[in-house]
Structure 1
Amino acid sequence: MKRVFGLAVVLLIAGAGMYLAQRRKQADAVTANAVVDLAADWQRDASRIPMHMTRISDAEEVRIGNELASRYADRDLDAEQKATEQYVEKIGAALAAHAQRKLPFHFHLVPDRGLVNAFALPGGQVFIGQGLLDLMRSEDEVAFVLGHEVEHVDHFHSMERVQVEARLRKVDFGALSELAQLPITLWQTGYSKDEEAEADREGLRLACVAGYSPRGALDLLNRLVKLRQDFVVQSKTPTGELSRLAVEGLEGYFRSHPLPSERLTQAQAVIAEDHLPLDRTLRPFHVEYEITSQ
């Protein structure tokens, strides 16, 4: 009953605010786009109110995320893959140190060159596919991608996805064995456009706070713009380092994210508004490992 009453109060206040805003006289012109944007924001916020009011504890979220991650983390890695995962963990740890939520973040490699994507499970379990890493040219680009995923956790996007799916499937939060059956594709398919934009903005800022150059985000997004134009729109034959498998993975990545051109425009706006240091030196993408004979 308290939750229902609280929700009614929130909706009443929001409705009163909208009524007063409509009654107040302003000289500014109201466009159709502004009305659509307002409606979209209201719909998004209203849909997330129940999630905020029934949010579980961080400890419970971590427990759920660990159970899900135990099904997906690949422990059978060769020497190069282990070194790559350690490299990803190092970058991720630098970012997680500045995250708002003090969760035990963990960063994993998915050694699949066909997986051109990254995703985050609840509680701070972050995964990145080898196929996406193959596109990277600097450590700063990796930091932008991992920062994006950290922010999906920081802003509860990952956990809210579990809450929604658990309700739809009538799964009990206390039954970890049931929650563990939720398919990993739930997180690979991306989030709403608003949530993806939020993760981009805050992930870029997080990477900069951790000492990385914002140019990494611009370089990667510019490359994605060109890749989408070449291999998705114009359907060119892959050449050089891009295999057909990688192109198919790219198509999946583009389906689960907003247009690269829109993401690039937003990144440029954040850099300009926040005066982020574009002159900061890029760090080379560099993985070292040794092969020892038995």
Structure 2
Amino acid sequence: MATRVQIRLAVVLGMLALSAVIVTTLGRSTYRVNLSAAMELWGDVLRDADDFGLQLTRVSVHDETELGDRIASAIAAQYGQSASAPYLTAVGDRLAQHTTRKDISYKFHVVQSPEINAFAVPGGHVFITTGMLAFLHSEAELAGVLGHEISHIDLRHCIDQYQYQLALRRVGAEPLGEVVDFARMPMTIGYSKYQEAEADENGMMLAIEAGYDPRAMVNEMTRFDTVAPDPAASQAQPGPATEAASATVDALGDYLRSHPLNHERIEDLNDLIASDRRWHGSRQVYEGVQNYSQGIPMSQRRFPGETKTW
């Protein structure tokens, strides 16, 4: 069976060959446009190849959960948990009711850090920093952030980051303790563009199904974009995406590095909201500004004026 490296090498060679044909047949004037389209096409091929390999090396829920528990324990030992975790759990549990992977038990943690960040690790652990909690304005915004991170687990993005390495180290045949050193290895490659788009869409749908106003997720992203514009737009060099955490928590980077924002993602979410309204009509959704400020989840109390129609 071809390894991931061999698959990627084959794809790169194919891209180079295709690029040569483009230059020869179309000339330099149309080279950039057609090469961009070709790279999008090859990106789809590479994704399909990766998906095939991930199916062959799929990690069991038991092993994924055990790995995630080890990473989560190390993070908790480093930073501890905040007293606001029960409120976080109430909101997260409401979202998790609508996930696909019913064999995953979700746990929600607060990391004591001023950085604005949120991330997930395999097995159902979702972390959010105190800096992020200070940045958010409503329970619906919190639901958008948690929904995005839950989706990375529900769609298997988290475990896919580790899956090949776990298979190579024969986690299924050896005790997980034999690969405890792997949990300390910071992730230097973040989620792909299509995975982030999937998490955006799935996370918003989780929020809608849980009764939250999906426009809050757009408002939050827009506010991020205002505070710190998209690095690509300013031609700044983005840092490595480090949404998956290491046991030493060295990978706790800024949310704006691990979740690169751009106008395209915001536009896609607005399109999704419009599409949902066309198919399902008006909905009664909840914002929860007072809930968030008082730490009282919507499941316990709905404040006047917080229910919106859209």
Fold equivalence (TM over 0.5): yes
Counterpart residue number, 1:66? 69
Counterpart residue number, 2:117? 117
Code of the aligned partner of 1:217: M
Written as runs of structure 1 = structure 2, the 5 A alignment for 1:13-28 is none
* Post-superposition offset of 1:73: 2.0
Q: What SS does the corresponding residue of 1:217 show, helix, strand or coil?
A: helix
Q: What SS does the corresponding residue of 1:180 show, helix, strand or coil?
A: helix
Counterpart residue number, 1:286? 293
Written as runs of structure 1 = structure 2, the 5 A alignment for 1:94-109 is 94-102=94-102, 103-109=104-110
How far apart are the structure 2 equivalents of 1:197 and 1:254? 15
The farther-off stretch of 56-65 and 145-154 is 56-65
Question: Is the counterpart of residue 42 in structure 1 residue 36 in structure 2?
Answer: no
Q: What SS does the corresponding residue of 2:169 show, helix, strand or coil?
A: coil
* Post-superposition offset of 1:136: 0.1
How far apart are the structure 1 equivalents of 2:99 and 2:123? 12
Counterpart residue number, 1:265? 267
**TM-score, scaled to structure 1:** 0.72
Gaps of 5+ in 1: 5-30, 236-248, 290-294
How far apart are the structure 1 equivalents of 2:111 and 2:65? 20
Counterpart residue number, 2:152? 152
Please report the RMSD computed on the Cα atoms of aligned residues, expressed in angstroms: 3.3
Written as runs of structure 1 = structure 2, the 5 A alignment for 1:1-294 is 32=34, 34-74=37-77, 81-82=82-83, 84-102=84-102, 103-114=104-115, 116-166=116-166, 171-173=169-171, 174-181=174-181, 182-183=183-184, 185-186=186-187, 190-229=190-229, 252-275=254-277, 280-284=285-289, 285-288=292-295
The farther-off stretch of 173-182 and 219-228 is 173-182
Deviation by residue 1:168-205 (Cα, 9 ceiling, x = unmatched): xx534133224333237429x63111111111110011
How far apart are the structure 1 equivalents of 2:194 and 2:293? 33
Summarize the Cα distance change of 1:230–1:120 in structure 2 as closer, same or farther, 3 Å threshold: closer
Counterpart residue number, 1:13? none
Identical-pair percentage: 35
How far apart are the structure 1 equivalents of 2:137 and 2:44? 36
Summarize the Cα distance change of 1:101–1:222 in structure 2 as closer, same or farther, 3 Å threshold: same
> Size of the alignment, in residue pairs?
243
How far apart are the structure 2 equivalents of 1:92 and 1:202? 14
* Post-superposition offset of 1:250: 11
* Post-superposition offset of 1:117: 1.2
